Chain A
Amino acid sequence: MEKRSFSKIVLALAGLLVGLVLAVFITGRVNPSASQEGASFNFSASNTGVADEVVEAALKTYVPPGKLDEYYLFASGGHSGNVFVYGVPSMRRIRTIPVFTKESSVGYGWTAETKEMLGNFTWGDVHHPALSETNGEYDGRWLFVNDNANSRVARIDLDSFTTKQILGPIPNIYGPHGAVFLTPNSEYFMMASRFAGPIPFGKYAPIEKFKDEYYCVLAAIAIDPENGNMSLAWEALLPPWSYDLSDAGKLVSDGWMFLTSYNTEEAYTLLEVNASQRERDYIVAMNWKMLEKAVQEGKYKEIGGAKVIDPRDVPGSTYLIPCAKSPHGVDVSPDGKYIIGNGKLSPTVTVFSFEKFMECIENKDFQGEERGFPIVNYDKVRVAEVEVGLGPLHTQFDDQGYAYTSLFVESAVAKWSLTDFKVVDKVQVHYCPGHLCAAEGDTVSPDGKYLVALNKLAKDKFLSVGPSHPESMQLVDLTSPKMKVLFDNPVDPEPHYAQMIKADKIKTFEVYPKDEQLEGAVYKKEDARVERNGNRVNVYMMSYRSRYYPDVVEVNEGDHVTWYLTNTDFDEDITHGFAICLYDINFEVQPGQTEKIEFVADKPGVYPFYCTNFCSALHQEMQGFLIVKPKDQQ
């Protein structure tokens, strides 16, 4: 009996011990830092003279050390050719992504791959970033941007925040400013001409032939749903007006797209005056699904290497909606029911109903036609003209049924209701906002919360830096009934448009995976080598904290050198740089990455190379020599 109970006790104890060990092990794995969480942030303003609302605003934008922002803001960098990434609400700039311009800080434009992507252009004019969408929601996979100067489009992969493809120049399109948007499932990235011109590129036509021999096009760039790869699918021919901006239909209006036009006067000099004569220009409404089908049926002509379709050959695909004088932005409401034209030269935004637009088409309720396109009856299709203020340019939306319109001339943002079309609030911004960007504000389900006004001028707002002042972005709080400017942020030239996405939608990777099949990659120092084949030399180099293998490379003057560098530090944030002194070569390799450069060793002598990106305590020792043997000593 004694023995029996003893055994029970021992068994119970053994079981308990095993359970305990398991429990400790599992809790350790599940939540190792559980005890560190839950620290709250308390603040009490003790400075006299600081208004409560200032303290409140500061607290709303303050993101304490170690904490992360709630949103990513992707802002176009205009003619800098870059995209700037900010965290919201702190407005801290997190990253500059070079797209159309060489950027030595990350060695973009020297590697074989980036050099080829940039082609023969040294700059670009980034206008409109567009985040990829699935069912009208941002999916956080890619960011597309257009180049207004050189008719190109680029894709940035958001797993690495790097530019991965540049397509173009897209044939037949001069200055793709208008219609830069993605369709709700990222089927297409659309762009339309800002400038009319003879097509294809290079064709001559005297300016007096503007009305007859100058064209605009809308280019539909297809996006591979698997890898984001872009290719030109087709183009639609348009009258020689200037297309400014546009948006895709969504939900009920899916399949349509809406482009604003100016210069329907078809002037070709002094546009400031000559393109501002008509009381109304047009929103061009096009059914991209019909056009896509017509292209598949072969109703196109080949011009400049593009499949160009004339929408007049596809009846029912294209209509004109009259809109107050020189409209700038056109924005579709989140439910897809309203199309909002922003007046620019009129103090109103005009709200059109998609349903009534469809009725007009059905009843052939047209008030005329121009260049073969039916003009729908303005009085029927318009549901409201909202007096928002001077110089309305762009409209964004929140989750409460309100719209926000930037007022360039008035330097303000107007908030108005999509139910009764009345202005309910206005906030001053400084100065002259162009675009604005609300949190996920052009998707089918905006978040509200924050709005950023992208201002064209910022004089008096920051310490002077001489005659050219910075531009600015201002963060506006949307959480209370009255809009409030929370923060002023100086920015580099020049913000055009931005998109704001919830941070948790973006999934980055930190280290490139090891891939033995990768061209030029070496992962063991025994494999690092220099190979010669005639006058072509291949260098297979690896780097890890804080050395290169090999660290002395000798070539002959005149050799064509292909240089691979693999960073075998598979460790977060351990980037190595590589620069060859006096050879104008500079790039970097991210953890695990292999990069390739090509050059002709046309300068004899000794050229040190070194790591440019601080990597370790012995970073300064991370160096070596490129020795180029002169022709006469070979």
Chain B
Amino acid sequence: MKNLIYGRLNTTGRVLFLLSAALLIASLFFPWWYMNLVAPQYPEGLPMTVYANKIGGRIDIINNLNHYIGMKEIQEEDFPELKYMTYGVSLLAFLAVLTALLRRNWLGLLTAGLGSAGGALGIYRLWYWLHKYGTELDPQAAMKIPPFTPPMIGTNQLANFTTYTGFGLGGYLLGIGILLMVLSLWRFRQWDEKSSSSASLPSSS
């Protein structure tokens, strides 16, 4: 247990942490999550893509259509996390790089822990927004529909619209990044100088 905190990362572990940092930064440039609405008159689909700091896609049109069922307008200002997520991920990447440099296990644990907690929180918030938008419908709306919560990954049918949801490339990069940290801490540590040298011996033979 003590080793868990005081140990040091070996070279592979450090590389994995660096890779993780790169993936985290890369994730900022790709959508984390997407929703695509397809209907007979929209065969090309109406996409909404969530990035770390913005919402892309044809939001105007989705909002225009959503008003029929009394759904609140989706606008970037209403999502406080969009203002912070870039910083959060950047900080995490910075910590990962720092871990790779200092090789301290405790720092790695802190980073991976923060990352995991952040990921869990993110997934919860996504569910929360989906639930909120799908269930808090204006009772005065022209079209009455039963409240619904679209799945985070999957399809959902509402009137003439089929909704496809899922994580985007950015989301996967983020997830893999955190997984790599965990993996590194799990397998690529060296307990002391001795085991470190014994581990490196065979490679030189």
Q: Can you list 18 A-B pairs, Cβ within 8 angstroms, ordered by A?
A: A3-B199, A4-B203, A6-B187, A7-B187, A7-B188, A10-B183, A10-B187, A11-B16, A14-B180, A21-B173, A22-B169, A544-B64, A545-B65, A569-B61, A571-B58, A571-B60, A616-B68, A618-B68
B106 to chain A, nearest CB (A): 21
Q: Give how many B residues have a beta carbon under 8 Å from the other chain's beta carbons.
A: 25
Q: How far is the CB of B191 from chain A (nearest CB, A)?
A: 12
Q: Do A571 and B64 touch across chains, with their CB atoms under 8 A apart?
A: yes
Given A7-B12, A10-B183, A571 contacting B169 (CB threshold 8 A): no
In the bound complex, CA of A312 to CA of B82 (Å):
76
Q: Closest Cβ of chain A: how far from B194's Cβ, in Å?
A: 15
Cβ–Cβ contact B176 & A1, under 8 A = no
* Least Cβ–Cβ distance between A223 and chain B, in angstroms: 36
Cβ of B202 < 8 Å from any Cβ of A? yes
Residue interface bits B80-120, CB-to-A below 8 A is 1, else 0: 00000000000000000000000000000000000000000
The bracket for how many chain A residues form the interface is 20 to 34
CB contact under 8 A between A18 and B23, given known A3-B199, A10-B187, A25-B169:
yes
Does A570 contact B187, Cβ atoms closer than 8 Å? no
Q: Kindly state whether residue A617 has any CB partner on chain B within 8 Å.
A: yes
B169: chain A residues at CB < 8 Å are: 21-22, 25
What separation, in Å, do the CA atoms of A569 and B199 have in the docked complex? 66
For B173, list chain A residues within 8 Å (CB). 18, 21
User: B residues within 8 A CB of A581?
Assistant: none
> How distant is A621 from chain B, measured CB to nearest CB, in Å?
8
Q: Beyond the given A17-B176, A21-B176, could you list 19 further A-B residue pairs with CB under 8 A, ordered by the A residue number? A: A1-B202, A3-B187, A3-B199, A7-B12, A7-B187, A11-B12, A11-B15, A14-B16, A14-B180, A18-B176, A22-B169, A25-B168, A25-B169, A544-B64, A569-B61, A570-B60, A571-B60, A616-B68, A618-B68
Q: Which residues of B contact A4 (CB under 8 A)?
A: 199, 202-203
B-contacting residues, A1-41, CB 8 Å: 1, 3-4, 6-7, 10-11, 14, 17-18, 21-22, 25
B133 at the interface (CB under 8 A from A): no
Min distance, Cβ B99 to any Cβ of chain A, angstroms? 17
Q: CA of A18 to CA of B175 in the docked complex: distance in angstroms?
A: 11
Give bound CA distance, A571 to B60, whole Å. 9
* CB <8 Å contact, B172 and A570: no
A181 and B79 alpha carbons, distance in the complex (Å): 59
**Chain B residues, CB < 8 A from A21:** 169, 172-173, 176
Report the bound CA distance from A7 to B203 in whole Å: 13
Q: Is the Cβ of A617 less than 8 Å from the Cβ of B64? A: no
Among B120-177, those with CB < 8 Å from A are 142, 168-169, 172-173, 176
- Known A18-B23, A21-B169; contact A571-B176, beta-carbon cutoff 8 A: no
With contact pairs A7-B188, A10-B183 given, residues A571 and B142 touching in the complex (Cβ less than 8 Å): no
Q: What residues on B are CB-neighbors of A545 within 8 Å?
A: 64-65
Q: Is B19 an interface residue (CB 8 A)?
A: yes
State A3–B195 Cα separation when bound (angstroms). 12
- A49 → B minimal CB distance (Å): 39
Residues from chain A with Cβ under 8 Å of B202 in the complex: 1, 4
Interface centre among A6, A10, A570, by most chain B C-beta atoms within 10 angstroms, is: A10
Nearest chain B CB to A439 CB, angstrom units: 30
Q: How far is the CB of A510 from chain B (nearest CB, A)?
A: 11
Contacts of B199 in A (CB 8 A): 3-4
3 closest A-B pairs by beta carbon, nearest first, are A7-B12, A1-B202, A25-B169
